[in-house]
Amino acid sequence: MTVRSGSFYFCVCAWLLFTSAPFLSAEASHTGSIKVMGTGKGNALASIALDACAGEVVTVTSVDPNFGSDGAFRYTGVPLQAILKRAGVSGMKGITLVGRDQYTVYLPAGLAANPDVIIASERDGNPLSQYLGGPLKLLFPPDLKMHQSAYCWYVETLIPDYVDNPGVTVTVGGRTTRYALSDLDALRPEHKTLYLSIPLGYRWDLPKLKQPCRVTAIPLGALFDGEDVTGKKLTLTPFSGRPMTLPVAPILSCEVMLVYRINDQPIHPALGGPFSVYFPVMSCGELEGIAPETASLFFLHEISVD
């Protein structure tokens, strides 16, 4: 389980609110919608509108420990289990919730099935503001006594842990190709031992990732080998969070890697999977100023070159 201290968390969240306002304010409705991954073959995404769950709305009186001094409030929302049921999710061992800031919370199925564990959209009848973790936030009843780091803010995506055939799509020159794990294996992947970043988050009962770890990866350039990408840009789009666009040239010369297995196993969603991108910032100065501060992009969904 990964946790964070209250003062540190407050500073991080305050920083995110001021630096990430454009993407935190993208949800127009305070009820909003949530993407659910794995509702079909592979990593298909379904969008579940909370308005469609109006008949299952509940109100829970609780204290968000991130604002413990404010006391208890009446939070209104939809049970997490109701959203998963509407999306057709069943038979999972656990669920990963991802915020728009890519903060990650993993809960076992039993806890997710608690009818008072909700995706809240209102506090005392008012829409949840960004400052309070809105427009959608994971909330627990007080009797569970959950650590403050389990309260996922800006909830955007839910991922059950049974995604059986994940794939990443690559678009070059108007042509789109989907690569499943077996397709990536056919591209002669490399096996490396790395200190690999994972998303900040709370992971209920997952074993802690031991570092360095063994990863299976391929250079991103292998996905558009033979294409003329001179002077073009590459966009990496995660299924939760903001896309990033950068020149193709340093991607090729620095051998930025698509990582799809950790210790010979598919990457668990709570660790940033099924796919992540590793930037070797310590060994390649060309990536300075363009690579993420974490040296990784998590939850990769699509790659496009234009």
Tokens read off for 38: 């794995």
Pairing between β-strand 213-219 and β-strand 296-297 as defined by DSSP bridges: unpaired
**Among 18-22, 175-179, 268-272, which is the least confidently predicted range?**
18-22
**In which band, very low, low, confident or very high, does the pLDDT at 263 lie, cut at 50, 70 and 90?**
very high
In 42-110, the DSSP E strands lie at 45-49, 58-62, 73-79, 94-99, 104-108
Interacting residues of 108 by C-beta distance below 8 A, sequence separation 6+: 93, 94, 204, 205
**84 residue type, one letter:** L
Mean pLDDT of 255-275: 94
Q: Exposed, middle or buried, 8 (CB in 10 Å: 0-12/13-18/19+)?
A: exposed
The two beta strands, 175-180 and 276-278, are unpaired
Residue type, position 230, single letter: T
What was the pLDDT predicted at 54?
Answer: 81
pTM of the shown model: 0.84
The DSSP code for 18 is: H
pLDDT in tens, 46-105: 788 888 888 899 999 999 999 989 999 999 999 999 999 888 887 889 999 999 999 999
Please give the structure tokens belonging to residue 289. Answer: 């100023």
pLDDT value at residue 124: 96
Q: Report which of residues 132 and 1 the model is more confident about.
A: 132
Residue labelled with tokens 């070059």? 172
